[in-house]
Structure 1
Amino acid sequence: MVNLITGPRGSGKTQQMIDLANEKVKTSNGNVVLIKKSHKDTYTVDFNIRAIRMADYKDILTLEEFVGFLYGMVAGNHDIEAIFIDSVLKQANITLESLPAFLQKLHKISNENNIEFYLSISADKNEIPEINSPDYNVLN
């Protein structure tokens, strides 16, 4: 399942993502991953969550490369149960226009590997194309 948290910048999406990840790791039998652009605002992240700072991977510049990065994580660790991607529109070259294609790829990865995705998107849900798909769960 692909879960979406939407809202304008500064509406508390990052803290909501961290809270969800912290709750998920308590009940998970596998690994929980949090992907952020930087380590800013991660001081409340549970120590058992694998926090990935994308600023450390400067060569991942396109949506396709980012998806390849996710496939690499999944291939290297079959115990991942949930991946949280904060501020998805700040990752690689993902835009509102390319977001539907990205979400379709995440849905495929989710189904193939039984992984839940959680994404925060700095936009009103009315601005996000194809968000009403039954493949996505809008949490707010």
Structure 2
Amino acid sequence: MIQVFCSQRGSGKTKALIQMANSKVETEKGHIVYIDDDKRALFELHRQIRFIPTCDFKIKNYENFYGFLCGIMSQDYDIDTIFVDGLFNVVNLDRDSAAHLFYNLEQLSEDYNVDFYISVNEEENIPDCMGKYMNDLYVNDLVYA
């Protein structure tokens, strides 16, 4: 399953994703990974969540990001949930590369039974291919999704 949360910058997406990740620690049996472009969320996440700041790596395009995800998943077969906070901050995507990335994410999700929760800023030019993954809930309701 893939869910994309889209809202205005500063609307509380990061805070809601962190709360959602922290609540999943108590309900999920598998491991949880939280990917962000900086290290600000490090101390807000439960200690059982694997936090990975992409600022430490040189991720430039969707192929790098997909390889990065595959490397994370190949290292730990017990991962069942991956959060990506600020996808467009992590990797530059145009329409075509977003379509390729989401096709590959769909395959990963199905093949390895991993759920992806991804946040994006509404100001970005959202590719059409992401529309079917958009969540209609308001940011305040993310914790209950």
Give the TM bin, normalised by the shorter chain. 0.7 to 0.9
Q: Is the 8 A contact 1:125 1:131 kept in 2?
A: no
Report the counterpart of residue 51 of structure 1 in structure 2.
51
Cα distance, 1:125 vs structure 2: 9.8
Q: Is the 8 A contact 2:99 2:129 kept in 1?
A: yes
1:37 and 1:51 mapped to 2: Cα distance? Answer: 11
Report the counterpart of residue 99 of structure 1 in structure 2.
98
Does 1:138 find its partner at 2:135? yes
TM-align CA RMSD: 2.0
Percent of residue pairs bearing the same amino acid type: 31
1:53 and 1:125 mapped to 2: Cα distance? Answer: 21
Does 1:115 find its partner at 2:114? yes
Cα distance, 1:98 vs structure 2: 3.4
C-alpha offsets along residues 10-30 of structure 1, whole Å, 9 cap, x if unaligned?
Answer: 111101110110111111111
Cα distance, 1:83 vs structure 2: 0.3
Q: Is the 8 A contact 1:35 1:52 kept in 2?
A: yes
Cα distance, 1:34 vs structure 2: 0.2
87-96 or 4-13: which moved more? 87-96
State TM-score, norm by structure 2. Answer: 0.84
Does 1:83 find its partner at 2:55? no
1:92 and 1:127 mapped to 2: Cα distance? Answer: 13
Q: Is the 8 A contact 2:102 2:129 kept in 1?
A: no
Report the counterpart of residue 40 of structure 1 in structure 2.
40
C-alpha offsets along residues 3-49 of structure 1, whole Å, 9 cap, x if unaligned?
Answer: 11111111111011101101111111111000001111443211110
2:64 and 2:124 mapped to 1: Cα distance? Answer: 26
The amino acid across from 2:118 in the alignment is: L
Q: Which runs of 5+ in 1 are unaligned?
A: none
User: Of Structure 1 and Structure 2, which has the larger fraction of its residues in helix?
Assistant: 2
The amino acid across from 1:80 in the alignment is: I
Q: Is the 8 A contact 2:62 2:98 kept in 1?
A: no
Q: Is the 8 A contact 1:31 1:49 kept in 2?
A: yes
Q: Is the 8 A contact 2:95 2:128 kept in 1?
A: yes
C-alpha offsets along residues 32-90 of structure 1, whole Å, 9 cap, x if unaligned?
Answer: 00000111144321111000010111x22111011001011111110001000000001
The amino acid across from 2:20 in the alignment is: L
Cα distance, 1:132 vs structure 2: 3.8
Q: Is the 8 A contact 1:6 1:124 kept in 2?
A: no
Q: 1:122 to 1:96 in 2, by over 3 A?
A: farther
Q: How many residues align?
A: 137
Q: Is the 8 A contact 2:35 2:52 kept in 1?
A: yes
